[in-house]
A = this chain, B = another copy of it.
Amino acid sequence: MPKVAASERDAFYEGRRTEIAEAALRLWAEGGFDATSMAAVAEAAGISKGTLYLYFPSKQALLEEVLRRYSLLPNIQNLTANLAGLSFEDAVHGFVRAAWRHLSEHRDLVLLALRELPSNIDRARQAAEHILVPANRLIATYLEQQLGAERGREISFIVAGRGLIGTVILLFLTQEMLGAGRFLPVDEPQITDTIAQVFLHGVMGSGETKG
């Protein structure tokens, strides 16, 4: 008879895979993919090396599973989707706050992705092509709806949208990871509000005074 009942088997198996993936993500974020041995992953997951290989056929496969499971990017689309009914101002503020929260909740993955991005430039390109580009288009379309095509001739909504994401990400990295908050104390609402407000006025331009 098996160690766990047949009905529980799949749940157990998936649970193990999740534990391993989480352990791997944590260690890789700390020490890097190459520099972290499978033995270390196994130990962190509380199993033996051999057992680890029952759940993932290779280190590369484990990496791929981790990246698939915890992919940051698909959620960018979700973030924009949730803001449908709001005013432009609220939508921008909401998006920035949601993005920040999302980054906070996926600290390890941000680190891992950052680290492995240059090594997996092809994978990164694919991700960019299939996820970032459509998401960017979505944001640009939204901006055009809100701000008019005329403003779109002055600034690139594509650039503006991607710039907003960049602003959030780098502020998150410096604040949370590098501990810049210790030296330049700004709290989280102040950050997200400033980002949103600067972006808002920025993209709207001198619209009302321009006339």
Contact = CB atoms under 8 A, between A and B. Distances in A.
Contacts of A86: none
Given A32-B34, A119-B32, A159 B201 contact: no
The secondary structure that dominates the A interface is helix
A180 B132 CA distance: 8
Given A156-B191, A194-B160, A170 B171 contact: no
A208 interface: yes
Contact of A194 (B156, B169, B174): B156
Interface in A1-60: 29-32, 34-35
Contact of A197 (B125, B155, B209): B155
Interface residues of A, number: 65
24 contacts: A31-B119, A32-B118, A32-B119, A34-B35, A118-B177, A124-B178, A128-B180, A128-B183, A132-B174, A133-B180, A133-B183, A137-B184, A155-B194, A156-B186, A156-B191, A160-B194, A162-B170, A162-B171, A162-B174, A163-B195, A167-B167, A170-B170, A199-B202, A200-B202
Interface of A: 29-32, 34-35, 111-112, 114-115, 117-119, 121, 124-125, 127-129, 132-133, 136-137, 154-156, 158-160, 162-171, 174, 177-180, 183-184, 186, 190-191, 193-195, 197-209
